């Protein structure tokens, strides 16, 4: 008896080291139980130590990639990673709108782990205009500060998640991994825009530097569980648990000379 794949499309950059970007997305989608297709916005020369070069995919080819997969495959969810220019942002969202895609999970990748801004102020301004088209955005603390225009700490953490959601008319998962805290647990804050309900998601803090690709994997996991039919809250909780378990499984693994990846399959 024939059945249809539950499919997720990831639109993001390629990490030649395999730890983040498209490669992490495909691993995460597969590990969480769906079929992964991809559209690559840029390629990078990258390893566990850092990024040495970025090559933007020409817009015409980006459009051809999007048209090829969207015209042929039915997707239950879309994950979007770093979109490095206004032209790329407009191209992606106009194509998704044309095909009426739903369950769009946007990881607004704007700041590196080092704290360096990865995309131009023009691209950030352009991205802000399209955030209401996303079902969920998943900023970390630094990215959220760029979106909302003020610093974020433990005292205003929950209020900021709500503030971002209200301002951009979308659900928000504000990730607390970079919050200054001495507790043994980490907190992420989910604000559901439609219901205006806030969910606090608590998970253990794991002492390791092997966290490369965490944000990519989390947003991909959420998109996967949405495609499989879970509610927003359930999809987020399941994806957070998956990533936390993957960090734990990879905390003592060695790959390369820098910060290693999470272990998606518990290998």
- The residues that are catalytic are 175, 211, 213-216
Cα pseudo-dihedral 115, 111, 37, 24, rounded to 10 = 10
Task: Read off the tokens for 125.
Answer: 């301004």
Specify the pairing of strand 35-46 against strand 51-56. Answer: antiparallel
CB 52 within 8 A of CB 46: yes
Check if the beta carbon of residue 115 is closer than 8 Å to that of residue 150: no
Closest CA to 134 of 197, 179, 88, 77: 77
* Inter-CA distances, 261 with 12, 225, 255, Å: 17, 22, 8
- How far from 72 is each of 7, 35, 107, 126, 214, CA to CA, in Å? 12, 14, 25, 29, 30
Angle at 88 between CA 216 and CA 29, to 5 degrees: 25
Backbone φ and ψ for 39, nearest 5 degrees, come out as: -125, 125
Tokens of 199: 């969910």
């Amino acid at each position: 008896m024939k059945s249809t794949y539950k499919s997720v499309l990831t639109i993001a950059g390629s990490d030649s080291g395999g730890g983040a970007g498209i490669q992490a997305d495909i691993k995460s989608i597969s590990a969480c139980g769906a079929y992964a297709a991809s559209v690559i916005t840029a390629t990078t020369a990258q390893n566990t130590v850092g990024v040495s070069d970025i090559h933007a995919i020409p817009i015409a080819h980006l459009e051809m990639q999007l048209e090829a997969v969207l015209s042929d495959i039915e997707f239950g969810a879309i994950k979007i990673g770093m979109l490095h220019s206004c032209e790329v942002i407009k191209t992606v969202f106009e194509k998704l709108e044309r095909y009426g895609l739903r369950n769009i999970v946007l990881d607004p990748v704007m700041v590196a782990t080092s704290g360096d801004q990865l995309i131009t102020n023009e691209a950030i301004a352009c991205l802000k205009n399209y955030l209401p088209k996303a079902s969920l955005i998943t900023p970390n603390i630094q990215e959220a500060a760029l979106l909302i225009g003020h610093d974020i700490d433990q005292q205003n953490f929950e209020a900021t998640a709500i503030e971002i959601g209200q301002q951009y008319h979308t659900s928000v998962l504000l990730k607390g991994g970079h919050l200054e805290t001495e507790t043994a647990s980490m907190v992420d804050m989910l604000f559901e825009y439609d219901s205006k309900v806030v969910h606090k998601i608590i998970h253990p803090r794991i002492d390791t530097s092997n966290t490369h690709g965490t944000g990519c994997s989390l947003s991909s996991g959420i998109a996967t569980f949405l495609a499989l039919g879970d509610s927003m809250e359930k999809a987020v909780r399941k994806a957070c648990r998956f990533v936390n378990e993957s960090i734990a499984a990879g905390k003592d693994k060695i790959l390369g000379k820098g910060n290693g990846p999470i272990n998606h399959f518990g290998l």
